[in-house]
Amino acid sequence: MLIVGAGSAGCVLAARLSEDPGRRVCLVEAGEHPDLSALPPELRDSSMIDDRHSRYLWHHTARATERLPALAIPSGRVVGGSSAINTTVYLWALREDLDGWAEYAGPDWRYDACVPFFERIESDLDFPSPPHGTTGPIPVRRTPRASWSRAALAYEAACLAAGYPEAPDHNAPDANGIGPVPFNTLDGRRMSAALAFLAPALSRPNLRVVDRASARRVVLAGTRARGVEIDRGGERLRLEADEVILSAGAIGSAHLLLLSGIGPADEIRPFGITPVADLRGVGRNLRNHPLAAVAWRASERYTDATELPIPWQIQLRCTASGSAHTNDACLGVAVLTKRTPDHEPRVGVSALLMHALSSGELRLSSADPGTQPAIDLGFFREPDDLARMRAMISLALELGSRRELAALRGERVAPEDADLATPAALDDWLRLRVLTSHHPCGTARMGSASDPDAVVDSVGRVHGVDGLRVVDASIMPDCPRVNINATTLMVAEKIATAMRAASASPAAAARTPA
């Protein structure tokens, strides 16, 4: 078995599937495989992505809006993938999210059916009781109140005064309100999927990791996957397998499908690629969370206004004013200094639209695998998304202007008064200043074979192609209303369990190569 991509999903799959000594697993990664027992600080310590991570990144860019044609959307290019470089926020998908997935992927993806897999992969050190896990490989902690910044304490007070409830555990079923963010860290160190899942499995003789190997395409014999073509060390090689799993992320997996002739035939053919499976959903339905932030200069009285390694300690989960979609808003407070003019301390309230209706797409721009695909995030294509973002910016301004934060804030610097003069002016500001939350998903979504936009079935098998699966954030029907890493791990754990069960059944094994 070949797994392409040693990110969050790939590490889980390699670890779980290689537990079966009768199954040989090869995990292929384009980035490097660092010594997991002695990681460099930029991979070891929890922090935001910065210049130190450059060698470990895919440096993709995307169109965000008509006002913002090029926006950086980096992701992890290293064993561990984005879990090795992300901000370690560890939030479960919400009930609304997974019950919505079930409409496409079937009842096995309902929230209640997924809870056991979230539980299995975590060890919640703050809430060690059901439904939280206590023996999983991912440790989960929240910053204790004694370590909160003055901004976090004041922001909590402002949210409570505004009538929002306390949310001590954002991973409790149906939680909302203001409370600490859960992180997959231990003593300030990032617990990536590589450390939590892959490292304990590396000594198995049936597991091999091939790093610095760039996948070019899936090798097909008719409509059956037979392996993967890679470039490694200046050589072009073909790795053969009975089954191939693409776990290269929402950009990488969709790109590989297209390069292999799997996707919209009329778009693939002009690049000289012979269509194998005409699946119009490949590369479509690109989902993400648009983000915008309001900011004030830090007050002279806020003498300890410094940027923390992970600036967001607490968050508010709520429903945007006028929205028909529950819990679609996330607002957090932070002090930022590293990316501000002259490193001037600023107090910011970020607003993330966690359930956008708009979607983007990914298309081939070249038949050369080394050329990134054309990516359009599609932010604000739906007018309702702009309306809800306006409401969230208004809420961010309201919360940040409350008396509870008066001692911390100085002059407001974003948006400027002119940007707030009219709804149209604010829309223009949002189109120009929007950022990505680095949560791409949905480009090869789950669904039945009769669903014309579905790419894979409920266990990741590609429609119309034997011996090929996609298992990563690509297959999510929609972006969950949270940072997506915990949900990506859950998806891989759930499908790995299904694959193990299928291989244990002779009848199922005959249908599903292992």
Mention every residue, 6+ apart, whose C-beta is less than 8 A from residue 26. Answer: 1, 2, 3, 208, 209, 210, 239, 241
Q: Which of 33, 132, 439, 463 is catalytic?
A: 439
Q: Could you give the maximum distance between any two Cα atoms of the chain, in Å?
A: 71
Cα–Cα distance measured from residue 305 to residue 261, given in angstroms and rounded to the nearest whole number: 53
For the beta carbon of residue 162, count every other beta carbon within 10 angstroms.
15
Per DSSP, the three-state class of 486 is helix
Cα–Cα distance measured from residue 136 to residue 146, given in angstroms and rounded to the nearest whole number: 27
Residue 355 DSSP symbol: S
Active site residue 60: no
Q: Are 194 and 44 in contact (CB under 8 A)?
A: no
Summary count for the chain: helices (H), strands (E): 12, 28
Per DSSP, the three-state class of 394 is helix
Q: What share of the chain is helix, strand, coil (3-state, %, to 5)?
A: 30, 25, 45
208-244 burial, b at 16+ Cβ within 10 Å, e below that, comes to: ebbbebebbbbbbeeeebbbbbbbbeeeeeebebebb
Cα–Cα distance measured from residue 84 to residue 92, given in angstroms and rounded to the nearest whole number: 19
Residue 190 DSSP symbol: E
Sequence length of the chain is 514
Residue among 283, 106, 281, 90 nearest 181 (CA): 90
Sign of the torsion angle spanned by Cα atoms 301, 303, 306, 312: negative
Helices (H), 162-248: 193
Chain centroid, CA 205 distance in Å: 31
Q: Are 311 and 327 in contact (CB under 8 A)?
A: no
Residue with structure tokens 């670890």? 15
Cα–Cα distance measured from residue 202 to residue 26, given in angstroms and rounded to the nearest whole number: 11
Question: How far, in Å, are 4, 40, 90, 188, 484 from residue 87 at the CA level?
Answer: 24, 16, 9, 11, 11
Residue among 133, 99, 137 nearest 116 (CA): 133
Residue 197 DSSP symbol: I
Cα–Cα distance measured from residue 414 to residue 460, given in angstroms and rounded to the nearest whole number: 43
Burial of 433 (0-12, 13-18, 19+ CB in 10 A): middle
For the beta carbon of residue 371, count every other beta carbon within 10 angstroms.
11
- Per the structure block, which two tokens stand in for 292? 């915008």
Return the active site residues.
439
